[in-house]
Amino acid sequence: FCQSILHTVFPPELRFASIKLFNRIFHWFSSYCYFDITEIDGVNTNELYNAVQLYLSSSVSITGSRLSLTRALNSSAITFGLSNNDVIVDSYKGVAVLWEHVVTQRQSQTFSWRPLPEEKRGFTLRIKKKDKSLILESYLDYIMETANEIRRKNQDRLLYTNSRGGSLDSRGHPWESVPFKHPSTFETLAMDPAKKTDIKDDLQDFANGQSFYQKTGRAWKRGYLLYGPPGTGKSSMIAAMANYLGYDIYDLELTEVHTNSELRKLLMKTSSKSIIVIEDIDCSINLTNRKKNNTSNQAMSNQYEPEMRSGSGSVGGGEDGGNSITLSGLLNFTDGLWSCCGSERIFVFTTNHIEKLDPALLRSGRMDMHIFMSYCSFPALKILLKNYLGFDEGDLDEEDLKELEEVIVKAEMTPADISEVLIKNRRDKKKAVRELVEALKNRAERSRINGGSREKNSNDVEEEEQEKRALENPEEGCEFEEETCKKGEDEEDEKIK
């Protein structure tokens, strides 16, 4: 109304000045202040706009009557947002704020390097003047963080591999990715609940530890070494970790990497919030190199170590098919200066033979946590019974339970073996339990007859191992000489304990 009066009575310049004055007076008396967050700021996309949109889509107190739904490419979740000119109330630390999504038609197309959308969109944030400092200091940061978190959660996990060798794709990336949909979680993982909780807590502390790492001056990364016989759930554990934290996985195939600098390039092209995995590290090319190096000059482990770390210990091309990754390269990869480009990274190495690893790799600070994946224990068995057959605590016969408990330790069966028995008989639960008891007893008996379960089982493991290596590495295998690690073995064992 005021404006229409101004319109008829005053000339345009005066009109403009008085509207400004009017607004100023209005704002002077109003207890609110307003912030505009436009979609496009000049010619750049305003990141804050997208963040606000995403943040509001997660708000639990959605009160708008009309919401727009979106589902992004590669995402399995639907997000909703405010429709045009809708209003939503949010609260932060007890302060109520009001968001309005303002959409207006763009009046005249001004010159720009790229075409601008027809509509001008923006959010207007209304807050009480007295809350201004709180909002500006932390609310907007909080929104940015939450939005990033949502973006990551909505996006499906990706599994990257460097199986292409050193070649790059059209965008110059050395990694190839596929959606990662491994169903393994900490709930489905059969292992001692206490150990499981430890690992989960450790991961959680890591993920929430930004300020801790900053304060202590450490790079924000963590290393896990998973070791144990085949089929005890090492790979499943990695998948569970990724699913738990919502991180992507980079599965690093060391045999495809030819030089240390290639390794570094690969590292630089990984994103933060990711798990970098090297499976079967004892079978990797660098240790084979080292062995050759070592046996040729009969060096003791502490003598070759500095040599390797200075980078001169590489065997180089030639007989290794041009592969000259060194242990030093690998160590630099995990904790040299380059390892902290980007942040929030987890390194996971797996091995079936921890005793074959170089002591340099096991030293404290390199792999922060050594996790032993053992044969199936009784608590782990209960988890498998629950997952595969739906048995809860108390569903099973007391007698069956007792029998299982007695025989499980002696049998030394892997969760993989046990789950096979359970899957085969999953339609008939009673039969499944019977067969399982039978299988466990057989295994225990076999171990006893063979004079000490340990020996027999390690033979079994060795056989399986060799098969696996033959499959993976037909020409070379992964033979390894015992003396190479003998020296470091004892001290490392102590450390692990």
The helix/strand/coil state of 182 is coil
For 319-324, the CB contacts below 8 A with 24+ separation are 320/285, 320/288, 320/289, 322/258, 323/255, 323/257, 323/258, 323/285, 323/289, 324/258, 324/259, 324/260, 324/289
Q: How far apart are CA 45 and CA 38, in angstroms?
A: 9
Q: Are the CB atoms for 422 and 388 separated by under 8 Å? A: yes
Site string for ligand ATP, 168-207 (x = CB under 6 A): --------------------xxxx----------------
425 binds ligand ATP (CB under 6 A): no
379 binds ligand ATP (CB under 6 A): no
Q: Are the CB atoms for 96 and 63 separated by under 8 Å? A: no
**Residues 22-41 contacting Mg ion, CB under 5 A:** none
Rounded to the nearest whole angstrom, what is the least distance from the CB of residue 477 to ligand ATP in the complex? Answer: 16
User: Which residue has the closest beta carbon to ligand ATP?
Assistant: 233
Looking at 234, 345, 353, 382, which residue binds ligand ATP (CB under 6 A)? 234
Rounded to the nearest whole angstrom, what is the least distance from the CB of residue 379 to Mg ion in the complex? Answer: 22
Nearer to Mg ion, 256 or 464 (CB): 464
Q: How far apart are CA 367 and CA 361, in angstroms?
A: 7
- Ranges assigned E (strand) in 162-219: 176-179
Looking at 412, 415, 443, 461, which residue binds ligand ATP (CB under 6 A)? 415
Which span (19-27, 227-235, 255-263, 368-376) binds Mg ion, by CB under 5 A?
Answer: 227-235
Rounded to the nearest whole angstrom, what is the least distance from the CB of residue 334 to Mg ion in the complex? Answer: 19
Nearer to ligand ATP, 198 or 491 (CB): 198
Residue 244's alpha-carbon distances to 46, 191, 197, 248, 321, in angstroms, are 31, 16, 12, 11, 39
Q: What is the DSSP letter of 93?
A: T
374 binds Mg ion (CB under 5 A): no
Nearer to ligand ATP, 124 or 188 (CB): 188
235 binds Mg ion (CB under 5 A): yes
Angle at 171 between CA 166 and CA 177, to 5 degrees: 65
Nearer to ligand ATP, 420 or 435 (CB): 420
Looking at 53, 232, 288, 323, which residue binds ligand ATP (CB under 6 A)? 232
Nearer to ligand ATP, 233 or 342 (CB): 233
Backbone dihedral angles phi then psi of residue 392, each to the nearest 5 degrees: -95, 170
Give me the helix-helix angle, 285-297 and 327-335, nearest 10°: 130
- Chain residues binding Mg ion by CB under 5 A are 234-235
Residues of the shown chain interacting with ligand ATP in the complex, contacts defined by CB under 6 A:
188-191, 230-236, 352, 373, 415-416, 419
